[in-house]
Structure 1
Amino acid sequence: MSYPEVDFLYLDEKSMVKAGVTDMHECVEVMSEVFNLMSKGDYVMGGRNHNSHGILISFPDNPEFPNMPKSGPDRRFMAMTAYLGGRFNVAGEKWYGSNRANLEKGLPRSILMVMLNDADTGAPIALESANLISAFRTGAIPGVGAKYLARPDSKVCALVAAGAISRTCFMSLADVCKNLDTVNIFDVFPSASEKLAAFIRENYPQVKNVKIFSDIESTVRDADIVNVATSGAVLPEIEESWLKPGVYVSLPASILLEEGFVINRARCVIDNWRMYESWQAELTPPYSKALNCLGTILLDLVLEGKMEREKISDLGDIITGKVHGRKNNEEKIIFGMGGMPVYDVAWGYTIYEKAKEMKLGLKLNLWDKPYLY
């Protein structure tokens, strides 16, 4: 019996850039397509309910063995697996190691790869450098939300935190919200605010006013759109009274909000309710204490009987028309997201297809024939 050769494409970061991994407009469109497929159910992730964020390896504070890594800030390994249907019809995994101490070595905090596999045979089809896949797919989600949840006449955008993810979030928001002309920035490190402000001034001439603030309240008070992308241990607090009527609050990170506001007066939208439910099998309650984000905060409120599940909308159901989007210009909408491997698979596959067309990357051979067969 003869066996076919198995080849796959290796794409380094330069090849990924040439193939368009930093094209935010297309990334927003692809992520919108992902939410559409998720609302229809044409996807599978890990875990008992097929909606797990991923599998995490963390380390003990005092390892018993001399070579075992010791627990530290952002020190972990993670595998995030998914199948995505539709035109993608591909399985894949984002695998990464993270360690904040990497920054002292001149390395990114996290180093990521994406592997794509044939959904039928399981054979690898691509291995990709994925730091940019992850940064752009993360940044694209606030823009997807803004298409359906922000007021069309939004002009003022507030950015709380000024790191790399804040940059990509702003790129997607500016792509969707064509009337933005003012950006307010706050970061605990003024130099980070200055760096992000310089990027916006250089690349977005339609933004006439870029302002740097020294406190969160002043940053968000007049904003039509608020995006929070902090990464520190101390969560920023935003009071309901600081948020103007009609605001769209995008949360790729977590914040402290008044419980009464969340339960009774805010419109709550999340990326995938079933992903937060999956954490019930992996974490101990209260879930927001173990993993603080809007989705786990809402999960706790529902399980404690303080909030009805029906008051929480999935973005995919809004995109497919199962649920109404923004209902009026006065609604204060908060959109929480936790990151999902279907994003990485979709954006990684899109760039793989473009790389093939452009004849980029290095073709590697797995085998001429399987040795044991």
Structure 2
Amino acid sequence: MDENIFPNIDILFLSEQDLISCGVKDMKKCIDTMEEHFSLIGKGDYRMGGSSGNEHGLKMGFPETSEINGFPTNKPDYRFMAMPAYLGGKFHTCGIKTYGSNQENRKKGLPRSVLMLQLLDSQTGAPYSYMSANLISSMRTGAVPGLGIRHLAVKEPKTASIIGPGVMGRTAALAIYAEKKSVSTIKIKGRSQKGIDDFILFCKENCPTFKEFMICNSVEEAAKDSDIVYFGTTNAAVFEDNPFLDEKWIKPGALIISTSALLMNHKNWSDTKKYKLICDDYKMYAGWGTGREFPTQKNVSTLIGMGFYDAITEKIITEEQISEIGDIVNGKTAPRDSEQQIIIFAVGGMPTEDVAWGRVCYDSAIKNGIGTTLNLWHTPEWS
């Protein structure tokens, strides 16, 4: 922000339709932005919440029961989050993404989560934009796997699997289409036929290089013979119902991408010839949680990044065996050691990503005269 405008503060409000006009749905540009973003992450030019500067965000949940009349109680995916971040480089801005989430929203015609993003001057804390963030978050959630596909997939992948064909699965499909036109077969594992049908229709309308769609009845069927395996399911209400991927089902050279719950046995991850483990930001997962055991399998966690952390604490692997996508973008680390190596890419979601894509959309709005200006004050009443 221009210091000469103070103490007057105007805020540019951007609705979802405004953001569409700003190009928020441009997946290729979003992937390019995530590449710039992770280059800065690799250089340490960022900050998130908490004393470590690497916390995903602050979550407010609710108890299972309450004696207070009308007090909210726990439900699947019922939470409120505040996710502050600073991103340097050309972005040089702070932001706070907030959202409320409840699976029961869908019964009311709402998305599971309703998100907003506030951009703030990094020196004064003065807000300069407030915008709808559902599309921003969805697009960056697909673009980070897209960046992984750009750098980590085999050269000519033919088959990709989408496990969880919801909004995250759709943006992952857009990312696959944007980065790898060689992919012609999409395997789908979903929970409802309507969700699967809607996903296929979306792909036919937006991803013309996808020629064959295979509906799978199990994770095993979906994963086998796939060059890219993407997991984008929401957390199951029952721990055991989260998807489990057995290493016997994974094709040599496959890229496994998890943006949500995924259970894997990590006892063989020490085999660096067979596996390469890559994070968006390992420091975000360290200490996030100690993991839980799958009843019939040992050494598994709901988030793959937490699984990396568990494998380190159990001395199965060392922290040096975890690669960062930022280091790969910056050329400090090789993306893969062979075409046969299985890549496991943990994507937990970082509010710095929202700041990056939100700032790009804001800049487009300023350039094209899009949005509504709201005045916070001309002169503060008390200062």
For Structure 1 versus Structure 2, the TM-score category normalised by the shorter chain is over 0.9
Query: Partner amino acid for 1:19?
Result: C
Relative to 1, partners in 2 of residues 1:326 and 1:19: Cα closer, same or farther, differing over 3 Å? same
Q: Are 1:172 and 2:175 matched, yes or no? A: yes
Structure 2 unaligned spans of 5+: 295-299
Paired residue secondary structure (2:323): strand
Percent identity for Structure 1 against Structure 2: 38
Q: 1:258-337 to 2 correspondence within 5 Å?
A: 258-264=265-271, 265-277=274-286, 279=288, 283=289, 285-286=290-291, 292-337=302-347
Q: Indicate which of 359, 363, 366 corresponds to 1:353.
A: 363
Residue pair 1:287, 1:300 contacting (<8 A) in 2 also: no
Measure the CA separation in 1 of the matches of 2:20 and 2:380.
Answer: 34
Measure the CA separation in 2 of the matches of 1:208 and 1:7.
Answer: 49
Per-residue deviation at 1:134? Answer: 0.7
2:261 alignment counterpart: 254
Residue pair 1:57, 1:77 contacting (<8 A) in 2 also: yes
Q: Deviations over 1:30-53 (max 9, x none)?
A: 011110000001111111111110
Residue pair 2:15, 2:132 contacting (<8 A) in 1 also: yes
Per-residue deviation at 1:291? Answer: 7.2
Residue pair 1:78, 1:96 contacting (<8 A) in 2 also: yes
Query: Partner amino acid for 2:200?
Result: A
2:348 alignment counterpart: 338
Per-residue deviation at 1:357? Answer: 1.1
2:189 alignment counterpart: 186
Measure the CA separation in 1 of the matches of 2:376 and 2:306.
Answer: 41
Paired residue secondary structure (2:286): helix
Worse-matched range after superposition: 209-218 or 358-367? 209-218
1:156 alignment counterpart: 159
Relative to 1, partners in 2 of residues 1:288 and 1:272: Cα closer, same or farther, differing over 3 Å? farther
Measure the CA separation in 1 of the matches of 2:144 and 2:6.
Answer: 42
Query: Partner amino acid for 1:261?
Result: N
Query: Partner amino acid for 1:260?
Result: K
2:38 alignment counterpart: 35
Paired residue secondary structure (1:218): helix
Worse-matched range after superposition: 252-261 or 264-273? 252-261
Measure the CA separation in 1 of the matches of 2:140 and 2:211.
Answer: 27
Residue pair 1:252, 1:338 contacting (<8 A) in 2 also: yes
Q: Deviations over 1:300-359 (max 9, x none)?
A: 111122211111111111111111111111001110111110001111111011011111
Q: Are 1:238 and 2:270 matched, yes or no? A: no
Relative to 1, partners in 2 of residues 1:28 and 1:127: Cα closer, same or farther, differing over 3 Å? same
Per-residue deviation at 1:259? Answer: 2.3
Measure the CA separation in 2 of the matches of 1:3 and 1:191.
Answer: 52
Paired residue secondary structure (2:244): coil
Relative to 1, partners in 2 of residues 1:263 and 1:230: Cα closer, same or farther, differing over 3 Å? farther
Query: Partner amino acid for 1:259?
Result: H
Equivalent pairs counted in the alignment come to: 368
Residue pair 2:25, 2:135 contacting (<8 A) in 1 also: yes
Relative to 1, partners in 2 of residues 1:218 and 1:287: Cα closer, same or farther, differing over 3 Å? closer
Paired residue secondary structure (1:44): strand
Relative to 1, partners in 2 of residues 1:291 and 1:4: Cα closer, same or farther, differing over 3 Å? farther
